[in-house]
């Protein structure tokens, strides 16, 4: 009510018994709103727990790795800070300082603790993420730490000559604080040199940018192919009488009801060198037995299988915008003098754009994150970025790098979504 | 048609038949000639084949048999966009992603007309339907009546000689519909366009048309000017379909010249004008319009038969009285009388005598 007067409106509307109308309205609506909120509460909680929290955690993981600074006992779950002495030395000396005896003495102290906690592997792994071959140095040094005598610098060098490598010390310095952007650098094929400057990694070790580009390219290609295939199907579905179109719709939806794995493996049956397609081509004499087509374990396999699997996601939004388009629009255009091509191009097609946008966005986003199909039929050549994320999650156990890659993927999709909104407008999206 | 000068004939349907499934004919042997500048309405119940005829003329359906001629040339094999026929659709079919001006511009653009001429024509067409200020609106921002006007303007903007309208006023409310009926006929006559108009609303057909073709069962039942159609229906279907009608069933007992005698199923004998009955003993449906029934004996011809009637209902409708009677066993016999100072007002239960001029009472097929 103070708002109303502050707005400079002299008359305030009131109910019959003199209460401000706005208040009364608010109170009347509050109950309905509370009820509505209670109804969506389970969904809200579900989304928070299973969607928002994991994403937040993943984003955190991509900039936070405590492998070098904290040890957690698996049994007792007690957390012990580790590498504290060397951290103190790093804090006291600026980056690029030659490690002196004090540094090695601090390192020795830390290694004694590591040995006690049986944690040298963990620390070595963390350093190994950024400098290959470091893990064994850490385990070896920890084994001999108890026998070491001053001067520690020589003692460490006795174990491994690499211990004075400035690269190693740069990595340890970075790792000594749990928060770091180094994983993002790694995900973009970048690293820091000894002086802390950001540089590209060796040509032959650059994989992520290439994979991002390939993922993007293949996803665009797959989106385009699904569009080419889906547009006529959707048009047919939308124009056929209902009883035929329902039957056809079942064929479109059939892949939806089949396990993804089954679909992918059936493509393997079809596409492999001794598979149905090759056999048929050889049998018809189109191909010689010795030059069977290699259609699997490469990009062709990935593109073919994913186009098929993602096709319904393009057909359905297209169908949903085409169905309500009254045939009289095209008829009107024809009667007004347009050829059937002009009528299609200028009248029919523009009205299906919202469906194309929705379908393309849907297929593209799904394709960018696709994992199982490329893993099974892609071979080395047809792998997508998700396969690498999975690799870092399951095999190399470098979760921070996996998280950084995933975060970059997420950011890329958000940017595309924003672009889409700017260019086409998200209001125009029609999913059905 | 015999009354149409052959030189003036513009649209001809020559023994046209249409079947969708190869088993039933939707249009059976359609023959029709239209002179230039005529406003012809195809009227009929749904499923009578009238829209199919329109679609064949527009080119969206092909005739299974027979020829359609436009300006003397057969058009069966000409695609719709080359026929140069303007068309107004039932749902208007205004392109939703274009503004009003773009909608009007479309037929001109596909004809390769240059921009300045286009703009001039669009302006003229919009002014013609009094929508000059709405060029930049989208169809969705317009009311039904406004959309209707735009659809009309779009069908006329490229100056076609023939305009087809498929129930264009179906979606409008009564008042607007009446107004638009007037607008459409005015425009059609001013511009001298030949118009084929499809509707199932008989009032619309009667008020707008030069001639009306009444369709039923895939055939034209009668093709005539509105007054002829109303006053001289050629068969029972037309009599029933156009306007209000009273029907009495009976058998012809005598035919002498342009008069005949009918014995009704209830035993009474009445006079009628034989229309499509041929011989004594034929069953017939006698048709008489409610406003042609006389309750005043003095106005009847000498020797004319009268009938006893019982008033069942008297409805005061302001300008007219509507009296429902039981006549010869028919409970739905309606009489309309003008509200004049000397007019009798009856009451339910009252016994009266009615009659009519024999020429107003038509003995039709049973």
Encode pLDDT of B252-309 as tens digits: 998 888 888 888 888 888 888 888 887 888 889 999 999 888 877 777 777 677 888 9
What span, in angstroms and rounded, lies between the C-alpha atoms of A79 and A99? 28
Q: Within an 8 Å CB–CB cutoff, is residue B99 touching chain A?
A: no
Q: Would you state the pLDDT for residue A428?
A: 65
If pLDDT is split at 50, 70 and 90, which confidence band does B46 have? confident
- DSSP assignment of B134-191 equals GTTS-GGGS-HHHHHHHHHHHHHTT--SEEEEESTTTTS-HHHHHHHHHHHHHHHHHH
CATH number for the domain whose boundaries are A208-428? 1.10.3720.10
Q: Which of B58, B75, B90, B93 to mutate to test the interface with A (most CBs of A within 10 A)?
A: B93
| pLDDT value at residue A333 | 93
Q: Which residue of A has its CA nearest to B59?
A: A335
Residue extents of the structural domains in chain A: 17-48, 70-205, 208-428
Q: Do A338 and B110 touch (CB under 8 A)?
A: yes
CA distance linking residue A335 with residue B54, whole number of Å: 12
**B164-202 pLDDT per residue, tens:** 999 888 878 888 888 889 989 998 998 889 999 999 888
Q: How far apart are the two ends of chain A, measured CA to CA in Å?
A: 42
How many residues are present in chain A?
432
Q: A351 to chain B: which residues are within 8 Å by CB?
A: 96-97
Secondary structure letter of residue B267 according to DSSP? S
Contact B106 A333 (CB under 8 A): yes
pTM above threshold 0.80? no
Looking at the complex, report in whole angstroms how far the Cα of residue B122 sits from the nearest Cα belonging to chain A.
Answer: 14
The residue of chain B nearest to residue A326, with distances taken between CA atoms, is B93
State which CATH number among 3.20.20.70, 2.40.50.140, 3.40.50.2300, 3.30.300.160 fits the domain covering B244-365. Answer: 2.40.50.140
pLDDT of residue A430: 62
The pLDDT assigned to A41 comes to 95
Contact A351, A321 (CB under 8 A): yes
Please report, in tens digits, the pLDDT of each residue of chain A (432 residues total).
Answer: 444 444 555 567 777 777 788 888 888 889 889 999 999 999 999 999 999 999 999 999 999 998 898 988 888 888 989 988 999 999 888 887 888 888 999 999 899 888 888 888 889 999 998 888 888 888 888 888 888 888 888 888 888 888 888 888 988 988 888 898 889 998 888 888 877 788 888 888 888 999 999 999 999 999 999 999 999 999 999 988 888 888 988 888 887 788 888 888 888 888 888 888 889 989 888 888 888 888 888 888 899 999 999 999 999 999 999 998 988 899 999 999 999 999 999 999 999 988 898 899 889 999 998 888 888 888 888 888 999 999 999 988 889 999 999 999 999 889 988 888 887 777 766 655
3-state secondary structure of B8: helix
**B228: contact with A, CB 8 A cutoff:** no
Taking the C-alpha atoms of residue B327 and residue A81, their distance in angstroms, rounded to an integer, is: 111
Question: Would the ipTM clear 0.90, i.e. be above it?
Answer: no
From A351, which residue of chain B is nearest by alpha-carbon distance?
B97
**Cβ <8 Å between B97 and A335:** no
Number of H helices, E strands in chain B: 8, 19
List, for residues B210-238, the tens digit of each pLDDT value: 999 999 988 999 999 999 999 889 989 99
Measured N-to-C along each axis, helices B144-156 and B174-191 cross at an angle, to the nearest 10 degrees, of 10
Q: How far apart are CA B207 and CA B174, in angstroms?
A: 14
Residue B4 banded pLDDT, cuts 50, 70, 90: very low
Q: So where are chain B's domains?
A: 6-236, 244-365
Element spanning B301, H or E: none
Q: Does A346 touch chain B (CB under 8 A)?
A: yes
CA-to-CA separations, B344 to B227, B294, B323, B328, in angstroms, rounded? 28, 11, 11, 22
Inspect the interface and report whether the beta carbons of A332 and B85 lie closer than 8 Å: no
pLDDT for A9: 52
Nearest to A329 among B60, B90, B95 (CB): B95
> What are the chain B neighbours of A354 within 8 Å (beta carbons)?
none
Best to test chain B binding among A331, A335, A338 (most B CBs inside 10 Å): A335
Closest Cα partner for A168 from A112, A109, A84, A98? A98
Confidence of residue B6 (pLDDT cuts 50, 70, 90): low
- Tell me whether B362 touches chain A (CB under 8 Å): no
Query: Is the minimum CB–CB distance between A425 and chain B shorter than 8 Å?
Result: no
Chain B positions touching A339 (Cβ under 8 A) are: 79, 81, 110
Q: What is the mean pLDDT of residues B48-63?
A: 91
The per-residue pLDDT for A254 is 82
Averaged over B116-128, what is the pLDDT? 92
The 10s digit of each residue's pLDDT in B12-31 is: 999 999 998 888 899 998 99
CA distance linking residue A123 with residue A118, whole number of Å: 10
Considering only CB atoms, which chain B residues are within 8 Å of A332? 87, 89, 93, 95
Chain B residues in contact with A328 (beta carbon < 8 A): 89-91, 93
- What is the CATH number that goes with domain B6-236? 3.40.50.300
Contact with chain B for residue A428, Cβ under 8 A: no
CA angle A332/A337/A341 to nearest 5° reads 85
- Chain A partners within 8 Å of B83 (Cβ): 335
Q: Do A335 and B110 touch (CB under 8 A)?
A: no
Q: Do B93 and A326 touch (CB under 8 A)?
A: yes
DSSP string across A40-74 = HHHHHHHHIIIIIHHHHHHHHHHHB--TTTEEE-T
pLDDT of residue A5: 45
Interface test with chain A among B81, B121, B155, by most A beta carbons within 10 Å? B81
Contact B214, B237 (CB under 8 A): yes
């Amino acid at each position: 009510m103070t708002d109303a007067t502050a707005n400079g409106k002299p008359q305030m509307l009131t109910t019959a018994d003199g209460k401000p109308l706005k208040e009364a309205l608010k109170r009347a609506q509050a109950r309905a709103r509370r009820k509505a909120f209670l109804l969506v509460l389970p969904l809200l909680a579900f989304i928070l727990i299973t969607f928002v929290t994991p994403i937040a955690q993943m984003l955190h993981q991509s900039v936070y790795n405590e492998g070098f600074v904290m040890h957690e006992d698996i049994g007792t779950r007690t957390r012990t800070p580790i590498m504290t002495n060397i951290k103190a030395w790093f804090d006291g000396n600026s980056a690029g300082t030659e490690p002196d005896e004090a540094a090695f003495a601090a390192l020795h102290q830390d290694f004694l603790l590591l040995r006690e906690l049986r944690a040298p592997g963990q620390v070595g792994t963390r350093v190994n993420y950024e400098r290959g071959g470091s893990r064994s140095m850490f385990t070896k040094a920890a084994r001999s730490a108890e026998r070491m005598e001053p001067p520690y610098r020589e003692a460490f060098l006795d174990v491994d000559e690499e211990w004075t490598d400035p690269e190693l010390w740069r990595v340890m310095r970075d790792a000594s604080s749990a928060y770091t952007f180094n994983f993002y650098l790694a995900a973009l094929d970048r690293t820091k040199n000894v002086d802390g400057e950001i540089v590209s990694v060796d040509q032959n070790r650059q994989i992520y940018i290439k994979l991002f580009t390939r993922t993007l390219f293949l996803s665009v290609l797959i989106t385009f192919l699904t569009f080419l295939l889906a547009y006529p199907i959707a048009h047919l579905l939308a124009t056929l009488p209902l009883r035929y179109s329902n039957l056809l719709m079942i064929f479109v939806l059939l892949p939806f009801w089949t396990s993804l794995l089954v679909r992918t493996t059936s493509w393997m049956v079809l596409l492999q060198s001794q598979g149905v397609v090759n056999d048929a081509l050889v049998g018809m004499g189109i191909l010689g037995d010795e030059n069977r087509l290699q259609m699997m374990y490469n990009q062709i396999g990935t593109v073919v299988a994913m186009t098929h699997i993602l096709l319904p996601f393009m057909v359905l939004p297209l169908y949903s915008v085409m169905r309500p388009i009254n045939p009289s629009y095209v008829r009107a255009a024809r009667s007004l003098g347009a050829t059937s091509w002009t009528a299609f191009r200028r009248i029919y097609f523009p009205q299906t754009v919202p469906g194309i946008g929705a379908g393309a966005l849907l297929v593209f986003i799904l394709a960018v994150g696709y994992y199982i199909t490329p893993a099974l039929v892609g071979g080395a050549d047809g792998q997508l970025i998700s396969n690498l994320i999975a690799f870092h999650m399951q095999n190399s156990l470098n979760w921070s790098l996996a998280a950084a890659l995933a975060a970059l993927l997420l950011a890329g999709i958000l940017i595309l979504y924003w672009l889409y909104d700017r260019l086409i407008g998200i209001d125009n999206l029609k999913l059905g | 048609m015999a009354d149409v000068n052959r030189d003036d004939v513009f649209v001809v349907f020559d023994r046209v038949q249409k079947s969708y499934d190869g088993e039933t004919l939707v249009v059976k042997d359609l023959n029709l000639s239209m002179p230039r500048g005529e406003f012809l309405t195809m009227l009929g119940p749904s499923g009578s084949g009238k829209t199919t005829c329109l679609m064949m003329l527009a080119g969206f359906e092909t005739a299974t048999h027979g020829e359609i001629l436009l300006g003397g040339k057969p058009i069966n094999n000409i695609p719709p966009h080359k026929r140069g026929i303007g068309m107004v659709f039932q749902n208007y079919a205004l392109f939703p992603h274009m503004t009003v001006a773009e909608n009007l511009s479309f037929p001109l653009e596909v004809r390769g007309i240059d921009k300045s001429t286009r703009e001039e024509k669009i302006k003229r067409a919009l002014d013609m339907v009094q929508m000059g200020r709405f060029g930049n609106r989208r169809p969705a921002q317009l009311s039904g009546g406004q959309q209707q006007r735009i659809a009309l303007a779009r069908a006329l903007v490229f100056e076609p000689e023939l305009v087809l309208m498929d129930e264009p006023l179906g979606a409008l409310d009564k008042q607007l519909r009446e107004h638009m009926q007037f607008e459409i006929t005015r425009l059609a006559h001013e511009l001298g366009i030949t118009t084929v108009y499809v509707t199932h609303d008989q009032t619309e057909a009667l008020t707008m048309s030069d001639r009306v073709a009444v369709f039923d069962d895939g055939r034209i039942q009668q093709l005539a000017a509105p007054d002829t159609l109303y006053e001289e229906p050629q068969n029972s279907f037309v009599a029933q379909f156009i306007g209000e009608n009273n029907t009495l069933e009976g058998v012809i007992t005598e035919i002498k010249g342009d008069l005949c005698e009918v014995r009704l199923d209830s035993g009474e004998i009445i006079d009628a004008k034989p229309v499509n009955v041929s011989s004594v003993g034929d069953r017939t449906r006698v048709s008489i319009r409610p406003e042609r029934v006389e309750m005043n004996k003095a106005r009847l011809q000498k020797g004319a038969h009268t009938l006893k009637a019982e008033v069942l209902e008297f409805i005061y409708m302001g300008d007219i009285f509507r009296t429902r009677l039981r006549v010869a066993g028919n409970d739905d016999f309606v009489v309309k009388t003008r509200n004049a100072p000397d007019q009798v007002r009856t009451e339910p239960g009252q016994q009266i005598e009615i009659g009519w001029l024999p020429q107003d009472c038509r003995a039709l097929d049973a």
